[in-house]
Amino acid sequence: MTIKRSNTPEPDPEFDAFAKNYDEALQEGLDLTGESKEYFAQHRVEWITEQLKSRKVPTKSILDFGCGTGGSVDYLLEQLAPDRLVGTDVSDDSLKIARSSHPDPRCHFERLDQFKPNADLDLAFCNGVFHHIPLSDRQQCVQTIFEALKPGGHFCFWENNPWNPGTRWVMKRVPFDRDAIMLWPSESRRLLRQSGFEIVTTQYCFFFPNFLRALRPLEAYLASIPLGGQYLVIAKKP
């Protein structure tokens, strides 16, 4: 399947405007959960680390698609120990912050419209990116990720769960999320399949806010129930 690259999203001045206060704007919504953005970023990476290790998936080279200011980078480096991490985004200002915050020589950050997929990466990761991408551009972005991965490479695709009313409530409080178009899990799987991915699993996470944190050990047993605040689709390039 081939899609013209003219649809690749161009630099985004909206997210440039939020780059310097991105963390504060995001935390405005997350305060409702009683947790910091670091809690969610770390737990997402810990979750996929367990999933990938159980499947013996290589993680020596990683694409952080829509990396923003690099909020997941330290956790990806720590948990998955790649030799190389490439972060892409449409916001120049966000990438500047990511570069200055992560001088690790394993890391390289570049704007999405300049990124050239070479089928040389083991793993792609994204979190909460696709609900910001215009509908007309979403398939092309999935195709870019598909072309960036080696045969047998995996894609860990996190999105906010429309089934969860708490997630919708949080998003309404975050300035850059208020007008976002959420993706249903079935829609995400369809996008991935249309670019050639095979679906490995769909799992749900973040069921309990901080005041119910004693129940969090149950989340591993609830992962198939579509009520968590986010969902993860793991897909594989044949």
Higher pLDDT, 23 or 219: 219
Task: Count the domains in the chain.
Answer: 1
**Tens digits of residue pLDDT in 99-114:** 999 999 999 999 999 9
Angstrom distance (rounded) from CA 156 to CA 87: 14
Domain-embedded: residue 5:
no
116 domain residue, yes or no: yes
Q: Answer yes or no: is 166 within a domain.
A: yes
CATH, residue 19 = 3.40.50.150
At residue 204, φ and ψ (nearest 5 deg) are -115, 145
Instruction: Give a yes or no: residue 156 inside a domain.
Output: yes
User: Where do the H-state alpha helices sit in the chain?
Assistant: 13-18, 22-30, 37-54, 73-80, 92-101, 135-148, 165-173, 185-194, 219-222
Residue range(s) defining the domain that contains residue 157: 12-125+137-223
Q: Can you give the pLDDT at residue 69?
A: 94
Strand order from edge to edge, sheet including 198-205:
107-111, 84-89, 61-65, 121-127, 149-160, 230-236, 198-205
Give residue-wise pLDDT tens across range 167-194: 898 888 777 677 899 999 999 999 999 9
Q: Give per-residue pLDDT as tens, 128-150.
A: 999 999 999 999 999 999 999 99
Q: Residue 229 falls within a domain, yes or no?
A: no
Q: Is residue 4 part of a domain?
A: no
Residue 16 resides in a domain = yes
What pLDDT does 32 receive? 66
Among all chains, which residue has been given the structure tokens 């990396």? 67
Q: How far apart are CA 104 and CA 73, in angstroms?
A: 10
* Measured torsion, CA atoms of residues 160, 164, 167, 171, in degrees rounded to the nearest 10: 80
